[in-house]
Amino acid sequence: MKWTKEQRYKRLDEAGEEEILELSKRVNECPWRQKFHIQPVTGLLNDPNGFSFYEGEYHLFYQWFPFGPIHGLKYWYHTKSKDLVHWENVGIAIEPHDYFDSHGAYSGSAIEYNGKLYLMYTGNTRDEKWHRNPYQCIAIMDSSRRITKMKKPVISNIPTGYTEHFRDPKVWKAGDSFYAIIGAQRSDETGCVLLYSSPNMMDWKFEGEINTDLRQFGYMWECPDYFELNQKGILIFSPQGISQKGDEFQNIYQSGYMIGDKLDVAERNFVHGSFTELDRGFDFYAPQTMLDPKGRRILSGWMGLPEIDYPTDQFGWAHCLTLPREITIKENKLVQTPVSELKKLRGEEITVETIITQDSALIDGFHGETYELIAEFTETDADEFGIELRVGVQEKTIIKYEKTKKKMVLDRTFSGQRFAEKFGTIRKCHLEAEKIKFHIFVDVSSVEIFINDGEEVFTARIFPKKESTGIRFFAKEGQAKLSAVKWAIA
Ligand code: FRU
């Protein structure tokens, strides 16, 4: 279906009740609705926004277009949770109905200030000639969860030397000052991030560009994030326009991080190491982090990518968010682990300890559509070993370690309904390890695989048949000791 401009920019309050009901009906007929991930009631979800903790609850907003699986007029949709596991749909948080956000309430972040939650976002606008003009805006949520938009943007102009691709403010506080970094494009069409400061979240001063070693690294840096951990500074961003390099940068757009010294805000210098992808899988973009009351740095990402058709499109919806992951630093690398609260999802448990000798082994009781699985392979002399998930007559999703080549491999060639094949159906990364621990979350239409306690993560949407519920462990040209535990997730 080709969407007209009118359809893409229709407001939700212009839709009839019937239309919404019809939409939900189609969505609910979809066999690939997720069980324990945040997903939109209808339409398209993209970036996580305003991830924060405010008055006893986690708040996680996201980019939302209600009417279908396309990038039209974006709203902020609000979900909240007491435990990072069970999320309640609150409803629309920001409506893009003002002159400064008429073509979308685009991505942004949240921070608590004076007892209220300040949401800072980009108002996307287009003029008659369809020229883009971005504004940086504020909306404020109070204790009663009411959200009020400020009448005027707080940053109305694009600094000289940069184009209209200027969006996605991420705000933090240091000392008496607030800081925001904003994704930008220089006039020579290279990507970067800009730094602003404010004493009160309302008056913002342009400090300048953050100086990094990446002068030519893609044409736009979306959704930047900056935080400090273990006396280090970490800059996350999603650059567009990076070419493939070996196993890396295979997706249409990338998301990654650089670890460095703490950002010197006065000189705006960031002395850093190399850019590393956060996730080695297929469907991961525009992540955002927050600092929770327990002192943990927690990340959630969009489990999807722009400009790709997904099999759920035909049912009128697309995408979900990743599970929340705790981030730590180990040997100058970011390590990601599923937050421990997710144990609450664990249902019926089954365990096994065995030696895998034959090519592949089915083990009694190991199957399912939605589950958590931890499988450790040790004492192995096999060339490669791993697990096939969601196995059916003609379907399987393979995660394996090629020991001789020192590669971790995710293969979704036969995962079910095919999509995005133009970008390849296999993802790999280099990994040196003697033993491998796979920690896997399988939902109806996704897998998230944490390798060796989060040293690497592979995320992918998959679209298998409901009946494809097999789990197979295998070792090739040798054997491996396997110890595995699986919990059903109901
Ligand atoms: C990233 C992004 C952001 C923008 C938003 C619009 O996916 O393009 O840069 O704010 O999505 O939905």
> What's the Cα-to-Cα distance from 485 to each of 277, 363, 378, rounded to whole Å?
29, 11, 15
pLDDT for 308 = 97
CA of 242 to the centre of ligand 1 (A): 17
Q: Which of 411, 397, 338 has the alpha carbon at shortest distance from 369? A: 397
Of the listed 13, 47, 168, 225, which one is catalytic? Answer: 47
Q: Are 66 and 42 in contact (CB under 8 A)?
A: yes
**Atom in ligand 1 nearest the alpha carbon of residue 223:** 9
Encode pLDDT of 147-175 as tens digits.
999 999 999 999 999 999 999 999 999 99
Buried/exposed code over 201-235 (b: 16+ C-beta within 10 A; e: otherwise): beebeebebbbbebeebbbbbbbbbbbeeeebbbb
Q: Are 262 and 175 in contact (CB under 8 A)?
A: no
Q: Are 122 and 135 in contact (CB under 8 A)?
A: yes
Cα torsion for 286, 170, 48, 301, to the nearest 10°? 40
Domain locations in the chain as residue ranges: 5-337, 346-488
- Is 47 one of the annotated active-site residues of the chain? yes
CA of 475 to the centre of ligand 1 (A): 42
* Residue from 77, 106, 253 to probe ligand 1 pocket by mutation (most atoms less than 8 Å from CB): 106
Q: What is the average per-residue pLDDT within 335-358?
A: 96
Asked if pLDDT for residue 116 goes beyond 90, the answer is yes
Q: Which CATH architecture has domain 5-337?
A: 5 Propeller (2.115)
Asked if pLDDT for residue 463 goes beyond 80, the answer is yes
pLDDT for 273 = 98
CA pair distance 39, 18, nearest whole angstrom = 22
CA of 106 to the centre of ligand 1 (A): 6
Ligand 1 binding pocket (C-beta < 6 A) is 46-47, 63, 74, 106-107, 122, 167-168, 222-223, 285-286, 306
CA pair distance 27, 23, nearest whole angstrom = 6
Encode pLDDT of 8-41 as tens digits.
999 999 999 999 999 999 999 999 999 999 999 9
Percent of residues, the chain, with pLDDT higher than 70: 100
Neighbours of 32 (CB within 10 A): 21
Q: Are 366 and 466 in contact (CB under 8 A)?
A: no
Q: Which CATH architecture has domain 346-488?
A: Sandwich (2.60)
Asked if pLDDT for residue 360 goes beyond 80, the answer is no
